[in-house]
Chain A
Amino acid sequence: MSFRPSEASGEILSRAASSPSAPIVLISDTSFRYAHDDAGAGPDNPSADSAAPAPTGTAPSTPESAAPSELALSHVNLTIRPGETVMLCGQSGCGKTTVTRLVNGLIPNFFHGSLAGSQSVCGLTNGTPAGSGSPVSPGDADSAACTAPVPIEALVPLVGSVFQNPKTQYFNADTTSELAFPCENVGMEPATIRARVNDVAQRFNIGHLLDRSVFKLSGGEKQRLAVAAATMLNPRVIVMDEPTSNLDATAMRDLHDMVAALKRDGVTVVIAEHRLAWCADLVDRYVLFENGAVAGEYTTAEFSALPPQQLESWGLRALDLAPYRAALRKKTGATGVTPAGVTQSGATSSAEPSGAAPSAKSLDASTASSTGPVIDSASRHSSAPETTHHSSNINDVPIIATRDLVVGYQRAFRRGVTDLALRGGDIVGLMGRNGAGKSTLVRTLCGLQRPLGGQVLLHGKPAKPAALTRAGFLVMQDVNYQLFADSAREELLLGLGDAGDAIRQPVEVTVAPSNAVRSSSSSATPLGVSVRGGIIGASSSATPHLHPATLGEQADRVLESLDLLPFAERHPMSLSGGQKQRLAIASAIMCGKGLIVLDEPTSGLDRAHMMQVGTLLRGLADQGKAVLVVTHDEELAALWCDRIIDLDGNAPATNKENS
């Protein structure tokens, strides 16, 4: 009742001292299933899951959704010794996040469900102790589980946690308070807290981040602060749940250095990730999860000896990004202006390094080139891309082009952008470090913001922001803001037709879609998405005043082409992250937009889902849309983009020289 963590940790320390080599985390024969009525487990892990109907770890939110009884973990055994750095990897929904929640006590304290087996963290044991001999099956989980679960409060001084989304893991509005927060909660003296804050700031070299508003920090800075905050109580274990999913290369480098510092100090680090490259040199052991079970454990040597194709087949991201970076460099610099004959002295910057190759050891491209993955976006064009590609932009006028564009905000920020042109059928990647002006440029292209100078040309003619807003669409990183209706079909019909009357009318779904569409959807790939031609004709003729029934038919066709038809009546918010993303894109298609911009569409996605997004982009481009992808994801950019615009090597100075 009157539990004080300081006493508990003292007790634990003494217990641990008695057996120094004892495992710090011991998970034995553990099974877990999320309780569906629990709001806490709601639409879980928003970006991670995609087309696969309700992956494990994602509690399906509606009763009719598939597989409610799927286990998030089944009979998992895992031992982590003090001082180890362990990487839990596997596809989305494989159970790695669930394991991190077991370690930091969120299961069973916050995420409820039926838990079986025993879990011991730093000597605090949940459930039946290992070796007590009671065979636990998921069926009798309820009875076997946890007579007295370890309260999460007991684990606070022992386990530090870092989560995926840098925006929402802060409880305080300023950085220093956030660092002090755990110490305040355990009741330390103010002077001690201040000393601790300064120590930690010095240790991780984040002194410049103190006394600032957390809302003014970049994503990378937020994540560094999160790691620092997790270490405030000197925990013995740090758990990170996909810490890099929103980070650029530099920020990942910083995070790497922090993990290295933790490892030096003997802290046990458990990382759940599918991006492997950023801390490959720190990890002692890889644990591969598949469908809620441990599929294999590998030492670093064993793991790095595996061929990249093997990792791909497990749905993991590349361990070595060098080949991707090489491919990126080749694609960078082509501004796309040249073919149109506009004044342009050529893509000169293609020889420049992309500026995102931090680790010298990963530059060893010789081995990679022999076994490396096929990195050529041309090879991933759909079967007959050339015809559609060319027919879609006959007159070869770029959908969007810029001339002497200067973007920025009135006082705060200002930069020039080298002239660029986006054509139908192109997938263009927009890269650059945080703060390079990517999102400002994108907002300007979509007309959400006025340019400070220069022009944006829409189909060759200078356009006002309002016209750009009508022509372009931005799929935001957080799609939740973009979905308004109460069902997927309504979502597509929203805003079409005049005001509300067309929306309100129930749409008769007596559609006989064209053969092409039907065949393509029935032969849907395992990756789930296939966008083929067939919608183009309909959608490009989408005038806002069609008869409601016609609109309804068209909406169904668009939904079908994106494999969303089975979910037409579902509420958009009950869909998975990937489905929401596709629904937003579907609404853009429905509005007949020519330019589709995606902001970080693959953040937090495993390889399979990243490839799925790539396929989707290809499909959009093949429909004649101009596709612009803002991304830090080097794999996505290298595999799927036709060209890369790198804002880091794209300075206003060169802009002037060229013109």
Chain B
Amino acid sequence: MTNPSSASSARADSRAGSRSTSQRGTHSGVRLDPRAKLYLLLLANLLLFFHVDTRGEAIMVALFLLPLFVAGRWRNGLRLAVLYFALLGLGLWSDAATMSGSGGSGGSLIGMIGGGVTDTAAGSSGTTVAAEDVAATAASATDAFVTAGHVAGLLSVGIRMMMPCLITGAYAFTTTSISEFVCAMRRMRVPEAIVIPCMVVIRFFPTIVHDYRQIRNAMALRGIAAGRFALVRHPVQSLEFIIVPLLMNATFVSRDLSVAALTKGLGIAGEHTCMTVIRMCWFDWAYMAVCTAPLALAIGGVL
């Protein structure tokens, strides 16, 4: 209705394009479409659902970590990678511990490490089991050691299972801008009744942090629940003093936000567009396929 002349709009568009690419440049690298990210999340959940063996899991984790590095999130990616492989190592150790036990501790420790090494080196479960069985017959386990091994094993297996989800979640969270997220939801025909609260949630988080700080300052000035342990000593009263002003402010903000949103046309019926354009390109499809294949093979037991 109020289109500027096409020439100027095209020029401005190109300018906008250059700006948005430069903005993207700060994140650097190629990023997947939000919907592709969502697909990866689903794959990660499937991985959790069907118990895939360690090797398949490791391959999938590597595949999930790759986009993080490509997107330039080096530190984040490295941290997750290190965590995963540490857990993997712990799991292998606990396998060895629970299987072999510790009769003559020195020898069995070597056996365990040896078992671990063969495991990682050979990478085929068959040989590992064989090696461990040998170790297990060698010595009977002392209870404490075995229990520790089980706890470690349970933890490592448990957290390791969560890792694919956490990695893809971290990827989705750190590399998706809010507008992309909203745009993806609208493209996927998520009803506005869900989209709007999601926008508000993201908008309101920083406000909560700010409010909380203000409230804590005000409490300190009044000498209410001051000091480090006051929150622990009077939990109910502290909760009341913190949550009541938070909620009061929330109601005021909700009114102001409603006013702002209504005057800016959030209530207008019909399709709402998004300035940010998201597009599934060949890369997204290719990567989705690359990730699906090993999972399918692993679930199918082929791998």
Direct contact of A and B (CB under 8 A): yes
Complex partner residue of B245 from A181, A484, A494, A499, CB under 8 angstroms: A484
A199 interface residue per 8 A CB criterion: yes
Considering the chains assembled together, what is the distance between the CA atoms of A474 and B256 in angstroms? 26
In-complex Cβ contact of A197 among B16, B207, B255 (8 A) = B16
Interface residue B297 (Cβ < 8 Å from any Cβ of A): no
Least Cβ–Cβ distance between B189 and chain A, in angstroms: 15
A contact residues around B147 at 8 Å (CB)? none
A104 at the B interface (CB under 8 A): yes
B221→A474 contact, CB < 8 A: yes
Closest to B253 in A: A168
Nearest residue, chain B, Cβ from A180? B275
**Binding site of B, secondary structure by majority: helix, strand, loop or mixed?**
helix
B179 in the interface (beta carbon within 8 A): yes
Nearest-neighbor residue (CB-CB) of B263 within chain A:
A161
B137 within 8 A of A: no
Q: Is A356 among interface residues, defined by CB-CB distance under 8 A?
A: no
Evaluate contact between A481 and B245: CB separation under 8 angstroms: yes
- Which DSSP category, helix, strand, loop or mixed, fits chain A's interface? mixed
* CB-CB nearest in chain A for B12: A195
B257 in the interface, Cβ–Cβ < 8 Å?
Answer: yes
Task: State in angstroms the CA–CA spacing of A458 and B200 once bound together.
Answer: 44
In Å, the complex CA distance between A51 and B43 comes to 62
Q: Which of B177, B222, B261 gathers most chain A CB within 10 Å?
A: B222
Q: B270–A473 contact, CB under 8 A?
A: no
B214 touching A234, Cβ below 8 Å: no
> Is A360's beta carbon under 8 Å from chain B?
no
Count, chain B residues at interface, CB 8 A: 70
- Give the docked Cα–Cα distance between A472 and B217 (Å): 12
Instruction: List A contacts of B234 (CB < 8 A).
Output: 499-500
Instruction: Chain B residues near A495: list those with CB within 8 A.
Output: 222-224
Question: B179 CB to closest chain A CB, in angstroms?
Answer: 5
Q: How far is the CB of A167 from chain B (nearest CB, A)?
A: 8
Q: Are A182 and B264 in contact (CB under 8 A)?
A: yes
A234 in contact with B2 (CB, 8 Å): yes
Q: Which residues of B contact A180 (CB under 8 A)?
A: 179, 275
Q: Which residues of A contact B273 (CB under 8 A)?
A: 183-184, 187-190, 193
B82 lies within 8 A of chain A by Cβ: no
Cross-interface CB contact of A184 among B4, B211, B253, B275, cutoff 8 Å: B275
Residue contact B221 to A171, C-beta cutoff 8 Å: no
B252–A172 touching, CB < 8 Å: no
Given the known interface contacts A172-B178, A481-B214, A495-B223, the answer about A43 and B262 at a Cβ–Cβ threshold of 8 Å is: no
Instruction: Quote the shortest CB–CB distance from A628 to chain B (angstroms).
Output: 14
Contact A176 B221 (CB under 8 A): no
Q: Which residues of B contact A313 (CB under 8 A)?
A: none
Q: B85-102: which residues lie under 8 A (CB-CB) from chain A?
A: none
Would B268 and A185 count as touching, CB distance under 8 A?
Answer: yes
Q: Mark B255-282, 1 if CB is under 8 A from A, else 0.
A: 1111111111111111111111100000
- C-alpha gap A516/B12 in the complex (Å): 71
Assess whether B263 is in contact with A152, with CB atoms less than 8 Å apart. yes
Contact of B264 among A1, A10, A171 (CB under 8 A): A171
A495 and B219 CA atoms in complex are apart in Å by 9
B249 within 8 A of partner (CB)? yes
- Which residues of B12-69 are within 8 A (CB) of A? 12-13, 15-17, 19-20, 23
Q: Which residues of chain A have C-beta atoms less than 8 A from B16's C-beta?
A: 194-195, 197-198
CB pair A152 B267 closer than 8 Å: yes
- Closest B residue to A229 by CB, please name it: B264
Contacts of B178 in A (CB 8 A): 172-174, 177
Inter-chain contacts of A185 with B (CB < 8 A) = 264-266, 268, 272
Provide the A607-637 mask, 1 if CB < 8 A to any CB of B, else 0. 0000000000000000000000000000000
16 A-B interface contacts by CB (under 8 A) = A153-B267, A161-B263, A171-B199, A171-B260, A172-B203, A173-B178, A173-B206, A183-B275, A187-B268, A194-B13, A469-B223, A481-B214, A482-B218, A482-B221, A482-B222, A500-B234
Any chain A CB within 8 A of the CB of B248? Answer: yes
Q: With A476-B214, A480-B252, A591-B223 in contact, do A2 and B269 touch (Cβ < 8 Å)?
A: yes
Whether A448 lies near B220 (C-beta < 8 A) is: yes
Which residues on the A side are within 8 Å of B244 (C-beta)? 484
Partner of A177, one of B256, B271, B275: B275
**Residues of the B chain whose Cβ atoms lie less than 8 Å from the Cβ of A210:** 19
The distance from the CB of B145 to the nearest CB of chain A, in whole angstroms, is 47
Q: Mark B129-168, 1 if CB is under 8 A from A, else 0.
A: 0000000000000000000000000000000000000000
A110 touches B202 (CB 8 A): no
Is B275 touching A176 in the complex (CB atoms < 8 A)? yes
Give the distance to chain B from A456, nearest Cβ to Cβ, in Å. 15
Docked pose: A156 CA to B272 CA in angstroms: 14
Q: Contact mask A146-184 → B, CB, 8 Å, 1/0?
A: 000001110111011101010111111110110011111
